[in-house]
Amino acid sequence: MIYNFDERIDRKNNNAAKFEEAYLHFGSNDVIPLWIADMDFKTAQPIIDAVRERAEQGIFGYTSRPEEYFKLIAKWQQRQNGYLPDVNKMAFAPGVIPAMRMILNLFTQENDKILIQYPVYHPFTDLVQNSSRRIVPSRLIFEHGRYTMDYDDFEEKAKNGVKYFLLCNPHNPVGRCWSREELKRVGDICVKYNIKVISDEIHSDLMLFGNKHTVFASISDEIASLTTTCIAPSKTFNLAGLQSSTIIFPNTVCKEAYETQLKAMDIARNNCFSLVATMAAYEHGEEWLTQLKRYLEGNMRFIGDYCRENIPFFKPNLPECTYLCWIDARDTGMTDDELFDFTVRKAKVACSMGVQFGKGGEGFLRLNAACPRSTLEDALGRIKAAAADNPILCKK
């Protein structure tokens, strides 16, 4: 089946947070929303068919998870990444961030040190602070338009009593597909100091331009023994609203402790739609995903070409993965407040501000490119027009 990713769908009628909550973050709904990380594309037809068939049954009671559920997820990991997880160590979660919060609450104490590399997906910071744990920051190095890990800084921080490391693999927002060598080096430091790892691999299916994802737990038995892996169909297939994620624990003891908490809160079941959608995605979604990634690559190239030709003070990366474009806007000479005013109030384009991703994000923007190319044309055209009215930017 050929999918049409150029189709523009009016999401204002489906209570989409991307549109309805723009006012909360940007002070206006009169913007092109390219901020929150979900896609403006219909999901794969087999998923739609599975949800429709389930809806037509007309009964939406408590839903039992079949044995095949985790087997399908494990087989998907094997096909995509050459890694076959043990289904006996897999557990359901309503979302990756809630699961990460539960894991920290279960296996760490208040004031324990949690290591995070910045800039990074901002809920990492929130979940640590909201759990009364202490953030230990380690920087990513940005050179020649590309990010790398600062291993010396990482080890210096790691050796001082860190309990957990929150790894973003692949990385949101900077779009790095960490290589096996990079991951092994940081993993070996964690083994050396007995630091447990939560590896957020929610974007791992969205590899672009021939890049390959490395599951952190696949690198060595020693690293696997410390690692909890978080995956989901939500980013891959645009299913975030169905709240279905999978957590792969290093052992059954940790899994059982986690599931005891899930059951205590009565959130251990899939809902009826997330169950069938997840199974359909992992069994029949590969054709759609292949076409999606090809379209996203075209979008990323379009953004780069447009900025070079029309708004050269915006320097977008060419991400190795994800549908998120990380734009270096420091050449504008603007403060973060001025950059917000320019993009949101003048251009009426809502991107995520880089500063919210922590130290090192100042002067950057994160743009969600998972939309029809015509939407990107409109958004970048607005920025170009706003720059033409700015006496400083029009000279750059």
Domains of the chain, residue spans: 11-44+287-395, 61-284
Q: What is the pLDDT of residue 396?
A: 61
DSSP-assigned letter for residue 64: P
Q: What is the pLDDT of residue 391?
A: 66
- Distances in Å between the Cα of 381 and the Cα atoms of 102, 299, 348, 378 are 43, 15, 11, 5
Q: What is the mean pLDDT of residues 100-109?
A: 97
* Single pTM value for the model: 0.96
145-183 tens-digit pLDDT: 999 999 999 999 999 999 999 999 999 999 999 999 999
Task: Give the chain's mean pLDDT.
Answer: 96
DSSP-assigned letter for residue 343: I
11 pLDDT band, cuts 50/70/90, is confident
Helix (H, G, I), strand (E, B) or coil at 242: helix
215-254 tens-digit pLDDT: 999 999 999 999 999 999 999 999 999 999 999 999 999 9
Bond preceding residue 250 cis, omega within 30 of 0:
no
Q: What is the mean pLDDT of residues 262-273?
A: 95
Quote the tokens at residue 70.
Answer: 């985790």
**What is the fold, at CATH topology level, of the domain defined by 61-284?**
Aspartate Aminotransferase; domain 2 (3.40.640)
Element (H, E) at 9: none
Quote the tokens at residue 337.
Answer: 């407040």
Q: What is the mean pLDDT of residues 309-327?
A: 97
pLDDT of 390 over the 90 cut: no
Q: What is the mean pLDDT of residues 257-276?
A: 96
pLDDT of 30 over the 90 cut: yes
In words, the CATH class of domain 11-44+287-395 is alpha beta
pLDDT of 27 over the 70 cut: yes
Q: What is the mean pLDDT of residues 34-47?
A: 97
Q: What is the pLDDT of residue 242?
A: 97
